[in-house]
Structure 1
Amino acid sequence: MQSEAARGVGAMVAACCIWGLSPLYYKLLAEVPAAEVLSHRMIWSLVFFGAVLAVQRRLREVIGAMNTGSALLRVVLASLMIGANWGLFIWSVQTGQTTQTSLGYYIYPLVAVVIGRIVFAERLSPVQWLAVALATLAVTLLTLGLGLLPWIALTLAGTFSIYGLLKKQMAAGPVVSVTAEVLLLVPLALMILLQSHHNGGTVLGGDWRIFALLVFSGPMTALPLILFSYAARRLAMTTVGLLQYLNPTLQFGCAVFVFAEPFGPWHVAAFALIWTALALYSGAALRQDRARRRAARAAAVSGTAV
C-alpha cells in the first residue's frame, strides 16, 4: 500500500507537470486574444471550483473568507495579483516569450525570500544572500546582454510572490480562497467578453474545438491546485519547494525544444547563474530542514527521558 508521502509526491509531480506543460495548451489558443483567454479561464475556473465546493457542501466558506474588511481586502489584492499573473503568462506564451516565463518561476523562490526579509524581517543565511546575489547578477547580465530588462520574468515572480504573501495571511484553505478570488474577477471577465462581442470578436472562440479548449481552462486551472493542496498536507515544505522546480524546467523545455525560442549565450550565462543560485538555496533549505528534524527528535528523546 502506498504511503501518504508517496501519494503526496505523486500529486505534487502531477500538479507541476500540468503547470509546466501548460504553455503547450495556451499555444493552441494563440488565435484568441489573451484577455479573452484569461476571461474564459476565470469564468470556467469559478464554475469548476464552485461545483467542487458544492459537492463538499462548503460554498458558504467562500463568503466566510471575505466576512471582515481586512479579509476582503486581502482577497481583492490576491485576485489582482493572480489575475495579472495569469494574464501575463498567457500573453507571454502566445507571443513567443515562454523562456521568460520559465525564468520568472525559477527566480520566484528567491524573490519570495527577499519579500520575506522585507515584510517579516526574516533572517537570511550567508548562502541565501549569495543565491539572491547570483540571481540579481543573472538578471543584470541578461539585461545588459540583450539590451532589455526581463520584465516579464520579474513581473511574474513579483506578482506570484506577493500573491503567496497574501495567501499566507488568509485563514481559508487554498480552494476556498481561490474561489473567492475568481468570484471577484468574473465581473471583469464578463465585461471583457461583452466588449469583445460588441466589437465583433469571437467570444465563444470561433469554433467548437477552440471553445472546448477555453472551457477546459477551468479544470486545468483547478486540478493542479487541488493536487498541490493534497501534496502540501503530506510532504515537508522543503520537498514541496524542490519538486516545484519541475514546473519552470518543463516550461523551459517547451520554450527551447518545442517552440524553438531564441536561446543565445546571454541566456545560457543567465540561466547557469540562476540554476547555481537555486542549487545553493535548495542545499541551504535541506540543511535547515535536517537541523530542525534533529532538534525535534532530540527534544522528543529528552522529553521521554524526563
Structure 2
Amino acid sequence: MNASIVRDTHQVAERRTGLLAGFGAYALWGLLPIYFKLLHDVSPTELVAHRILWSVLFLVFVIAGMRLYPALWQACRQPRLVGALALSSLLIASNWSIFMWAILGGHLVAASLGYFLNPLVTVVIGTLLLKERLRRWQLIAVLIAAVAVAILASGEWQTLWISLGLALTFAFYGLVRKLTPVPSAVGLAIETSLLAAPALVVLGWLSAHQGLAFGRDPMTTLGLIGTGAATSIPLILFAVAARSLPLVTLGLMQYVAPSLQFVTGVFLYHEKLSPERWASFMLIWAALALFIWDSLRGARAARA
C-alpha cells in the first residue's frame, strides 16, 4: 500500500512538473516575438546568425550540466544521424529566418497563422509519407484548412508565403526529428554547431559590407547574446514536458504559442485583420476545434 501511494504521488508530481514545463515552453515561444521586437534595429539575417552562435555557447553549459556529453559523442560518431540532423538544421534555420522576417516586418499575425496550420500540415505529412491513416474527422479538418488557405490566397497572397513557409518548415523539421533517435538538447546542439560556420560567414560578410548591430550599444549587444538562452530554454522545458505528459495533452498545449502570437500581433502591435484574414482564422479555428475533438475522442477510445 505504501509503495503504491508513493508511486501515485510521484506520478502526480511528475505530471504537475510536466504541465508547468509545457506551459512554460509554449508561453515563452508565444511571447518570444516581443523580445525580438526589441531588437528591431537588427537585420533578420544578423539576428538569426546570432541566435545560432549564442545557442551553441548556451548549449555547451546545458549539456555539461545535464551530463549529456557521452550521448553527444555517441551521436556524432553516427554519420547517418549527423546527416539527418544536417537536414533538420537547414529546416529550422529556414523556419527561424522566415519567423524573424515576419516579426521585424510587422507580420506577426501571419506567423501565428502558420503555427495554427502546423498540426494540420503534420497530419497530412504523416498520411502521405509515413502511411498513417487519416480518420474521417481529421480529413474534414484538413479540407476546412485548405479552404481557409485558398481564401487567404485570394486576398492576402502577399503574406501567404509566411504562413505556409512556417507551417511546412516546422512540420518537416518535426518529421526529421521524429525519425532521428537523439535527445532534444543533444540534437539542438549538433544542429546549431552545424550551422555555426555558415553563421560566422554571414556575420563576416555583413561586417564587411553593411556593418553589424552587435557592439553598437550595450542593450543591443546584450539582447543578441540573450537570443541563445531565449532559443534553448523553451526547447529544454519542452523536452521535460514531452517525457512527463501524454502526447494528446502535449499536442493540445501547442496552441498556446500561436494564440499568444495572434493576441500580441492584434492588440499590442495593432496589425490589421482584413475580411479575408478573419475568414481564414475562423475556418482554421473551426478545423482545429474539430481536430482537437477527434484527438480527445481517439484517446478515450484507446484507453477504453
Shared fold, TM over 0.5: yes
Question: Structure 2 vs 1, CA of residues 149 and 23 (structure 1 numbering), >3 Å: closer, same or farther?
Answer: closer
2:196 to 177, 186, 204: 186
Aligned positions, number: 294
Question: Normalized against structure 1, the TM-score is what?
Answer: 0.93
Q: Residue 68 of structure 1: CA displacement?
A: 2.7
- 1:68 corresponds to which residue? 78
Separation (CA, whole Å) in 2 of partners of 1:189 and 1:203: 15
Structure 2 vs 1, CA of residues 137 and 293 (structure 1 numbering), >3 Å: closer, same or farther? same
Return the offset for 1:82: 0.4
Question: Equivalents in 2 of 1:33, 1:146: separation in Å?
Answer: 24
Aligned equivalent of 2:105 = 95
1:144 CA drift (Å): 0.9
| 1:147 CA drift (Å) | 4.6
Which stretches in structure 2 are left out of the alignment for 5+ residues? 1-8
Would you say 1:85 and 2:99 are equivalent positions? no
Quote the residue 2:239 is aligned against.
Answer: 229
Q: 1:292: how far off? A: 1.1
Task: Please give the alpha-carbon distance, in whole angstroms, between the structure 2 residues aligned to 1:245 and 1:129.
Answer: 20
Cα separation, partners in 2 of 1:253 and 1:116, compared to 1, 3 Å: same
Unaligned runs of 5+ in 1: 295-306
Contact 1:63/1:180 (<8 A) preserved: no
Mapped contact 2:46–2:212 kept (Cα < 8 A)? no
Cα RMSD of the aligned pairs, angstroms, is 1.3
In the alignment, structure 1 residue 129 sits paired with structure 2 residue 139: yes
Q: Secondary structure at the match of 1:233?
A: helix
Counterpart check, 1:258 vs 2:271: no
Could you tell me how far 1:205 is from its partner in structure 2?
4.7
Q: Which runs of structure 2 are paired with 1:235-246 in the superposition (5 Å)?
A: 235-246=245-256
Counterpart of 1:29, as a letter, is L
Query: Alpha-carbon deviation of 1:55?
Result: 2.3
Residue 205 of structure 2 is aligned to residue 195 of structure 1: yes
Q: Give a deviation string over 1:172-209, Cα, whole Å, max 9, x none.
A: 11110011000000101111111111124125151010
Task: Give the distance between the partners of 1:148 and 1:199, measured in 2 at CA.
Answer: 29
Q: Deviations over 1:25-74 (max 9, x none)?
A: 11111111111010110011111111111223322422422323321220
User: Which shifted more, 3-12 or 90-99?
Assistant: 3-12
Following the alignment from structure 2 to structure 1, what is the Cα–Cα distance between the partners of residues 73 and 205? 29
Specify which of 2, 23, 37 is matched with residue 33 of structure 2.
Answer: 23
Q: State the match for 2:222 in structure 1.
A: 212
Q: Is the 8 A contact 2:41 2:213 kept in 1?
A: no
Structure 1 residue ranges (4+ consecutive) displaced by more than 4 angstroms after TM superposition: none
After TM superposition, the structure 1 = structure 2 runs for residues 144-159 of structure 1, keeping only pairs within 5 Å, are 144-148=154-158, 150-159=160-169
Deviation at 1:4, TM superposition (A): 1.6
| CA 1:142–1:212: 2 relative to 1, 3 Å | same
Contact 2:213–2:220 (8 Å) recurs in 1 = no
Q: 1:125–1:200: structure 2 CA closer, same or farther, 3 Å change rule?
A: closer
Hey, what's the Cα distance between the residues in 2 that align with 1:137 and 1:125? 19
- Counterpart Cα distance in 1 of 2:237 and 2:221: 25
| Contact 2:54 2:225 (8 Å CA) reproduced | yes
The separation in 2 between residues aligned to 1:205 and 1:31, in whole angstroms, is 13
**Cα distance in 1 for residues equivalent to 2:150 and 2:225:** 40
Q: In structure 1, what is the Cα distance between the partners aligned to 2:218 and 2:158?
A: 39
Identity value in percent: 39
Q: Is the 8 A contact 1:197 1:203 kept in 2?
A: no
